[in-house]
């Protein structure tokens, strides 16, 4: 059973997919589905689609947070190709992902870079979804909890309790992202409970209790009910399945059904 203060969150990470029209159409469909649901829903389109998606939702009068998949930690200046938090806020974007595994393992972001972006995002008043998770080698070496703890302590060491109120964690085992392999619900629950334990050590029991920890990694309608039913899994960060309105809607429905029955 999820404590009342941890309202489930289902977030869609669209990565580098869709056209502008496709992103707008998908956003409209997600927002219609999310209206009145007893769970939070957020979407993360590509940078160049955020403005069009926000405008369309504003026109429709629907309210789904639209976030960015990354940000710069610098306020402005000679950083070719980067996008600042000020630019995002200027267009009405107030959510951001940091530390996604593709940025850590494909682009090469270090714990220090993720920490700096997380601090900058929270300092700018954004809601930040900090992604953590172990690689397959690390899992097979029994290092899952140690890796998560290292990534958490690196990113959150300098974060104030007030800023923690705008932080969501996404535990995403790297080997489960985009592979069709998911952690078993029991394994995911163990990892989430260990993450919450680290939060307790860093910020105390109450903060640990209220912070949402999402699961990510090949989450889809078929496996969502079992994963989302676990007590320390407070929603999902969804990649591939968030690109299909029906599939993503079914994950929202699964979270909503569990929230109602809790």
Q: Which residues are catalytic?
A: 100, 172
Q: Does 9 bind ligand PEP (CB under 6 A)?
A: no
Q: Does 133 bind ligand PEP (CB under 6 A)?
A: no
Residue nearest to ligand PEP (CB): 239
Q: Which of 172, 196, 234, 251 binds ligand PEP (CB under 6 A)?
A: 172
β 235-238/213-216 pair status: parallel
Structural tokens at position 58: 């504003």
Ramachandran area for residue 131 (φ above 0: left; ψ -120 to 50: alpha; else beta)? beta
For 85, the enclosing helix (H) or strand (E) is: helix 85-90
Tokens 């309105």 belong to residue: 245
Closest CB to ligand PEP among residues 67, 217: 217
Q: Which of 45, 65, 216, 249 binds ligand PEP (CB under 6 A)?
A: 216
- Binding segment toward ligand PEP, per CB under 6 A, in 24-32, 65-73, 115-123, 236-244: 236-244
Q: Does 178 bind ligand PEP (CB under 6 A)?
A: yes
- Binding segment toward ligand PEP, per CB under 6 A, in 1-9, 35-43, 47-55, 217-225: 217-225
C-beta separation of 215 from 233 below 8 A:
yes
Minimum CB–partner distance for residue 4 and ligand PEP (Å): 26
- Binding segment toward ligand PEP, per CB under 6 A, in 28-36, 79-87, 149-157, 237-245: 237-245
Closest by Cα among 17, 28, 21 to 245:
28
C-beta separation of 12 from 30 below 8 A:
yes
CA distance 227 to 215: 8
Structural tokens at position 191: 């990892």
Positions touching ligand PEP (CB under 6 A) are 13, 172, 177-178, 216-219, 237-241
């Amino acid at each position: 059973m999820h404590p009342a203060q941890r309202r489930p969150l289902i977030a869609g990470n669209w990565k580098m997919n869709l056209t502008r029209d496709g992103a707008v159409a998908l956003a409209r469909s997600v927002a219609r589905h999310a209206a009145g649901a007893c769970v939070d829903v957020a979407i993360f389109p590509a940078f160049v689609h955020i403005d069009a998606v926000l405008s369309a939702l504003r026109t429709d009068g629907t309210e789904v947070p639209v976030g960015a998949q990354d940000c710069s930690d610098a306020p402005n200046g000679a950083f070719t190709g980067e996008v600042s938090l000020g630019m995002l806020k200027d267009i009405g974007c107030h959510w951001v992902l940091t530390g996604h595994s593709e940025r850590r393992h494909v682009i090469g972001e270090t714990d220090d870079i993720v920490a700096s972006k997380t601090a900058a995002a929270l300092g700018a008043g954004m809601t930040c979804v900090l992604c953590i998770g172990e690689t397959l080698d690390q899992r097979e070496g029994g290092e899952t909890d140690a890796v998560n703890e290292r990534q958490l302590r690196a990113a959150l060491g300098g974060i104030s309790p007030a800023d923690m109120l705008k932080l969501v964690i996404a535990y995403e085992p790297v080997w489960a992202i985009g592979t069709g392999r998911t952690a078993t619900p029991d394994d995911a629950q163990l990892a989430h409970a260990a993450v919450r334990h680290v939060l307790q050590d860093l910020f105390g029991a109450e903060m640990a209790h209220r912070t949402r920890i999402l699961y990510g990694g090949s989450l889809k309608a078929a496996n969502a009910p079992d994963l989302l039913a676990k007590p320390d899994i407070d929603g999902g960060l969804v990649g591939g399945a968030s690109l299909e309105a029906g599939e993503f809607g079914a994950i929202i429905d699964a979270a909503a059904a569990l929230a109602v029955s809790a």
